[in-house]
Structure 1
Amino acid sequence: MSAGGAGPTLVLVIAVGVLVATGVILLLERSLSRILLGVILLGNGVNLLILLGGRSGAAPVVGTAPTGELSDALPQAMVLTAVVITFGLTAFLLAVAYRSWYLSGDDEVQDDLEDRQIVRLAERNEVSTADLGGEGPDNDPEQVDPGPALRRLRRRRDQR
């Protein structure tokens, strides 16, 4: 904050812009590890933006300073809540990225088969048929292929 308490400095505003812009760019990537970094940067940028929206001043403890000189406690409480939410989302995305890497050996988000079909039908200007299910586990292309993970486990077993 600035020395007079009038508002945020230009450096903090630029830091918010850089954090949010970098976070959004990373969120648009196909790699789950980059998406994870984007969520972290975006969360930090938004937390800093929330803090900049509050009034600066003394610690918001009653009796330590006159009431007009206390900082606003609401943005601080909101940032604390946002930090916890960002941490939970980060832990979830980290688990998803690890599971994706474990199953496929890669953390890249693949195109969905139904999305490809919709694009093909849209190019031909046709209407898609509904997925009625009932294919069974062997014939359903939407099921995860455990092949790479099983091959990795077999390699480890064979090396012993």
Structure 2
Amino acid sequence: MEYLLASGVGVLTAAGVYMILRGRSFPVVIGMALLSYAVNVLLFSMGRLTIDRPPVLLLELDNYTDPLPQALVLTAIVISFGMTALIVVLALRSFLESGSDHVDGETAEGGTRE
């Protein structure tokens, strides 16, 4: 199970970095979302993977799930939602002002827009 999660984090990170390095703004937004998903899975896997255990520490329990990574992932989900909304608005405004969705300001013909 640990290998599966580690592979998932690696694939999400690699795909996110690849998408961020693209020349258009929509793949950059998707890449940022993939990187935030990778961080969420990494944070969730840090709390030791236990199945069918309560996330509450009681004296009569021998084995329990650590609630801290779950709280961190919930916080990270809210932050990544806000970050994605901000990036979408910035990409839309950039497209409306420049007429192009290229990140570096170049047009489809290869020249810069003045």
TM-score of the alignment, normalized to the shorter chain, above 0.5: yes
Q: Which of 1 and 2 has greater Rg?
A: 1
Q: Residue 56 of structure 2 aligns to which amino acid in structure 1? A: V
2:103 is aligned with 1:109: yes
Identify which of 5, 8, 12 aligns with 2:5. 12
Question: What are the equivalent positions in structure 2 for 1:8-157 lying under 5 Å apart?
Answer: 8=2, 10-55=3-48, 56-57=50-51, 58-62=53-57, 66-110=60-104
CA-to-aligned-CA distance 1:16-63 (integer Å, 9 cap, x gap): 110011111111222111110001000001110111111224121355
What TM-score do the two structures reach when normalised by structure 2? 0.80
% identical aligned pairs: 39
RMSD of aligned residue pairs (Cα, Å): 2.1
How many Å separate the matches in 2 of 1:66 and 1:105? 64
- Aligned residue for 2:62, secondary structure, equals helix
Q: Residue 79 of structure 2 aligns to which amino acid in structure 1? A: I
How many Å separate the matches in 1 of 2:4 and 2:37? 15
How many Å separate the matches in 1 of 2:45 and 2:86? 28
How many Å separate the matches in 1 of 2:23 and 2:60? 52
> Which residue of structure 2 aligns with residue 157 of structure 1?
none
Runs of 5+ unmatched residues, structure 1 = 3-7, 112-144, 146-160
Runs of 5+ unmatched residues, structure 2 = 106-113
> Which residue of structure 2 aligns with residue 121 of structure 1?
none
